[in-house]
Structure 1
């Protein structure tokens, strides 16, 4: 993922329907995001792991108290984190996946022309590589439906699910939705341990948060922290191609935690750990469980998810952005309004285009409710049924227009809408 750019055109760019509300002066520049899957590249039959450092022995041994004080023993026995881990930890799984990456450029080096002039000196790169990924997941129900991230299993040739008790199963991807980064994997078993689902709509900053997963291949790792914030938009997090309002936590999560649960103090799953900001500490993000549950139900029932789609590129309009657009002689449009959602581009033949929306329009109301943030408009579209009527009030060249738009289904080639 890229940081926000300095030039005007790049500041207005966003994925279809996503927000591009980065401050154009660069003060709100996004840091690159890292998904929490762990990947290894296998060349031939050998696996080479780089960038790993062996553990170093401590310089001095720690003193061990053979008979801890009674109050310490009591504190340990009443540790709610330990109780949560004991109760739901067996339902957290490790997910290993493989997929084949082909290298079409390798055929060039086998061309007789190269062989004639360069002979044995021509390099012979492998025609394909096997990429192995490691992630996490958790069991939704006792008959073997496992919730994880889409990027953990997307495009996988094989999926293996390993339980905490050591049992291993071949997994079948029931469906994966890259728009929300949610996937469901099925394993053939029954009477499996499960994790109860909480209500992410009721979360408040400061509540306890517990993460369980397989960071860097270290299975069944437990970390704790708090809910740092809720409702972080995809543009704030740095993944504008997704339609999720993320939970932010300072519980330590690392590559390999992808798909693992974020739990509350009662042991209920309140989110799916999914991403971190590179080179930052205490900034982890999870998909709210209410969103994940809604998507998972559709993946289990139909194997896919249909998202509502307008077909616009849009940006939150502010007085500062208005001034910068109008002062730029190369800007493709001018702006009269100071707030609302500015339509930067309309996709040809999209529902927005058919409904009469034009580039330069400023959307100020949706279904008679004022709207001044692109993220909010995107969320409203996501919650709208495909084919239903969406009433938009727009400002165009100083005039107010009311348009009825019927969202269509998000094309497979798009990530936003």
Structure 2
């Protein structure tokens, strides 16, 4: 019994010593893993010292035309010049940029910083000044590349913006308010990622939101992480509505997104983006209920452009795209950004919900047309041969006109939304099927006669289809 008791006491003593050693090791690891205030400061100091030489100030100059205001108090009746004539003046704007390639002199900035610029001057941290040439601009992503011929340039080290975490420290460097404040360093944290519809719904936005102080002049400047890596290009701020100064909310273009644009701009001066050929909306609560969806994630297809990649692959209206190459799609903006980041000719497998069934559809992407071409394609796809968008007439026979192409011949004949088509040629139109069948018999440059009911008045119009 005594031997057993001594043995147990010895075991207990060993356990206590082991626990004490482990506790001491834990305290030591904690002590060395938490940086001291001085060590924490050194992270910011190191990023500032390494990052500032890669930041430039950009002065862009362009000619503006302003309306001259006549001075009626000193009007000269013998002056033959137009008192309301426009006058020209030189206007300057200030922004920032980041050196990406020290050998080739490439500098990234925002497209809006050099928009319509006739002359661009770049000022380095060491006060040297250089004239810059534009390599390429992409207003849809607000990214531009300019080039200077200079020696001893220091380029920023780029990081991976996909690895950013909300709450992570970031450092902004730029030239707020003017050259007298160039290379200003501010710090903050990442407040959110994937922000869109901030500047314009028409642009490709996937912003990093942060609270490092940035102001007018910071546009095109750098956003660094604590490793000194460039992870974003500052592009926009939210203001208090009364001034242009910062209200604690800034937005930066992720460097990964910018890299994709830069590659195309450097290679050919334009950005080639993947194109699906659909119109899309977010899935709202009512749409989700009607389609039997479990949640509101995904992109709802509202229309498919004929003979474009989606149409050729069999994607249809009212389909909901929920994933792309197994990567979930959050909403319509997410799909738009993901498709545009791919290159023409790439094959993508989309996960689609149709009639409550999950389908997989492979699509070979096309080349995204220009904004002007997209607008024309939308109009062409929206309207039929006559320039009309029609639907069943809920109040009786015929088809109801929902919209009219303002450039069409039928519009010139005073046909408007709300009118009812009851006859084409000598054939009665009872429904949408009759309308489509009869319209298929016509083509461009053929004459056509239509019977309309407009404001309870029957009238006939005849015109040449163009």
| TM-score bracket, shorter-length normalisation | 0.5 to 0.7
Task: For 1:282 and 1:413, locate their aligned partners in 2 and report how far apart those are by CA, in whole Å.
Answer: 33
Q: Structure 2 length as normaliser, TM-score?
A: 0.60
* 1:204 matches 2:165: yes
Matched residues in 2 for 1:81 and 1:281: separation? 22
Give the CA deviation at 1:93. Answer: 0.6
Measured after TM superposition, the shift of residue 190 of structure 1 is 1.8
Tell me the residue number matched to 1:249: 210
Separation in 1, partners of 2:373, 2:254: 19
Q: Kindly report which structure 2 residues correspond to 1:14-413, keeping only aligned pairs within 5 A, or say none.
A: 79-101=42-64, 123-126=83-86, 128=88, 130-143=90-103, 144-217=105-178, 218-230=181-193, 232-235=194-197, 237-279=198-240, 281-322=247-288, 337=293, 339=296, 340-347=298-305, 350-367=308-325, 371-396=329-354, 403-413=361-371
- Whether the aligned pair in 1 keeps the contact of 2:190 and 2:211 (CA below 8 Å) is yes
CA offsets 1:99-125 (integer angstroms, 9 cap, x no match): 34558x99xx9xxxxxxxxx9796424
Contact 1:364–1:371 (Cα < 8 Å) also in 2: yes
Larger relative contact order (CA 8 Å, sep ≥ 6): 1
Query: For the structure 1 residues 295 and 160, does the alpha-carbon distance in structure 2 shift closer, same or farther, using more than 3 Å as the test?
Result: same
Q: Report the Cα offset of residue 397 of structure 1.
A: 5.6
Q: 1:356 to 1:204 in 2, by over 3 A?
A: same
1:241, distance to aligned residue in structure 2 (A): 2.5
Q: Secondary structure at the match of 2:204?
A: coil
Distance 1:100 1:265, change over 3 A: same
- Contact 1:243-1:416 at 8 Å conserved across structures: no
Partners of 1:261 and 1:205 lie apart in 2 by 18
Larger radius of gyration: 2
Tell me, in whole angstroms, the C-alpha distance in 2 between the residues paired with 1:152 and 1:394.
40
Shift of 1:277: 2.2
Deviation per residue, 1:62-113 (Å, 9 max, x gap):
xxxxxxxxxxxx959954333332332122111111234558x99xx9xxxx
Q: Deviations over 1:255-293 (max 9, x none)?
A: 111110011223221111011223272211111122222
Higher helix share: 2
Q: Deviations over 1:193-250 (max 9, x none)?
A: 22211222222122221111111213222211112222x2323x35333334221110
Quick one: structure 1 residues 409 and 89, their matched pair in 2 at CA, closer, same or farther if it must change by over 3 Å? Answer: same
- In structure 2, what is the Cα distance between the partners aligned to 1:399 and 1:77? 54
User: Whole-Å Cα distance in 2 between the matches of residues 198 and 246 of structure 1?
Assistant: 16
Distance (Å, rounded) in 2 between the aligned partners of 1:386 and 1:402: 20
Q: How far has the Cα of 1:402 moved from its partner?
A: 5.5
Where 1:243 maps in the other structure, the secondary structure is: coil
- 3-state SS, counterpart of residue 215 of structure 1: coil
**Which segment drifts farther, 248-257 or 131-140?**
131-140
Aligned residue pair count: 322
Distance in 2, matches of 1:146 and 1:125, equals 39
Distance 1:415 1:378, change over 3 A: farther
Check the 8 A contact 2:272/2:343 in 1, yes or no: no
Alpha-carbon separation, structure 1, partners of 2:220 and 2:118: 18
Give how far 1:385 is off: 3.1
Distance 1:315 1:190 in 2: 50
The 3 A distance-change label for structure 1 pair 134 and 123 is: same
- Structure-1 separation of matches of 2:171 and 2:374: 31
Instruction: Label 1:346 to 1:158 Cα distance change in 2 as closer, same or farther (>3 A).
Output: farther
CA distance in 2, matches of 1:285, 1:242: 14
